[in-house]
Amino acid sequence: MFNKKLIKITQKIIKGEECKISHEKACEIATLGKEYTFDLFTCVNKIREKFKNRKVFTCSIINAKSGSCSQDCAFCAQSSFHKTGVKKYPLMKKDKMVDLAVKMHDAGATRFSIVTSGLRLSGKEIETICLAAEKIKHLTDLSLCASIGMINESDAKKLLESGISRYHHNLETSESFFNHICTTHDYKEDINVVQSAAAAGLKVCSGGIMGLGETWQQRVELACTLRDLDVDSIPINFLNPVAGTRMEKRPLLSPMDALKCIAMFRLVNPKKDITVCGGRETALKDFQSWLFFAGANGLMAGNYLTTMGRDTKMDMDMLKDMGLYNEDR
């Protein structure tokens, strides 16, 4: 029998009566037995359709500066604390960033992000990214995003003036679990970056990685933190264990648990954009098209920072076959 609590909550959310589900109630739903998993998917799919219609978006990224990061994030192939054999290179030249952006635009992406390794960039590096952004905006209609580590409000305003409209900065996990993942900076520093970007007028994209060893309660905690910060978009990644990192032997989430993670973030953040990003090929396997049924309305196309993604045409064909519309393209 369909779970009556889920039906009641879903109806209230759709009617706008209860768009802020409590942490306790969300935890109760997250820990329901497996027999209710498909009930949850059905409900969050209705919520997605209510607030996002059948429109989805596709974003792409480039690893504009790779390796040698000073932070000890347990999952990261680019951390200087790990020996992963990842390529190391300084910030790309402006023209190379522009060329890669144009290529992804032509492949069908609607959003494009310049991502760099490291805690923060120098003023000169930020200037190079701003110059690249200005040219990309001149040549394409891509929505531009940057993910360049720790920034202050002044840095954020420079990015905004260059044509970058969104800043990405993941919290990675809940505050209660963060010290198991990173010890080289404080969780509140990441919160400050999110708040500084928003204060400067940038839209904010912030999420995390599922499958690091966190509990369902801690996944809900992260979802609620992001709701309280009022971020615009929530990227959900799944751990794809990299040899040489502290997470190399962690088991993968099952496809159903990975989809359930997406569903819980939609339930807690019914009106926000939810993007499925790194690790989806490994975690979801043959269930990648289900990510929309589970509540997502966006996906990352192309390759990731240090791992390969799925062929972009396959993703575009998947959207077409499902009758979903790729934003305004």
Q: Which region among 62-71, 219-228, 264-273 has the lowest average model confidence (pLDDT)?
A: 62-71
Name the nearest CA neighbour of 315 among 304, 303, 299: 299
Domain 22-326 CATH (choose: 3.40.309.10, 3.10.20.30, 3.20.20.70, 3.30.360.10): 3.20.20.70
Instruction: With cut-offs at 50, 70 and 90, classify the pLDDT of residue 311.
Output: low
pLDDT in tens, 52-104: 988 888 878 888 999 889 999 999 998 988 888 888 999 999 999 999 999 88
3-class secondary structure, 214: coil
Q: For CA atoms 209, 210, 215, 220, give the dihedral sign.
A: positive
Tell me the two tokens of residue 46: 């209705």
Please tell me the distance from the alpha carbon of residue 94 to that of residue 264, in angstroms, as a whole number: 39
Q: Is it the case that residue 302 has pLDDT exceeding 80?
A: no
Instruction: With cut-offs at 50, 70 and 90, classify the pLDDT of residue 293.
Output: very high
Tell me what percent of the chain is helix, strand and coil, each rounded to the nearest 5: 45, 15, 40
Name the nearest CA neighbour of 99 among 58, 64, 67: 64
Please tell me the distance from the alpha carbon of residue 130 to that of residue 183, in angstroms, as a whole number: 31
Q: Is the distance from CB of 315 to CB of 273 less than 8 angstroms?
A: no
Share of the chain above pLDDT 70, in %: 95
Q: Which region among 101-115, 119-133, 147-161 has the lowest average model confidence (pLDDT)?
A: 101-115
Q: Is it the case that residue 327 has pLDDT exceeding 70?
A: no
Report field, pTM of the whole predicted structure over 0.75 = yes
DSSP-derived letter for residue 46 is H
Q: Count Cβ atoms below 10 Å from residue 286 Cβ, excluding itself.
A: 7
pLDDT of 247 reads 95
More confident site: 218 or 83: 218
Tell me the two tokens of residue 280: 């989806």
Q: Count Cβ atoms below 10 Å from residue 56 Cβ, excluding itself.
A: 22
pLDDT in tens, 155-201: 999 999 999 999 999 999 999 999 999 999 999 999 999 999 999 99
Instruction: With cut-offs at 50, 70 and 90, classify the pLDDT of residue 319.
Output: confident
More confident site: 309 or 20: 20
pLDDT in tens, 36-46: 999 999 999 99
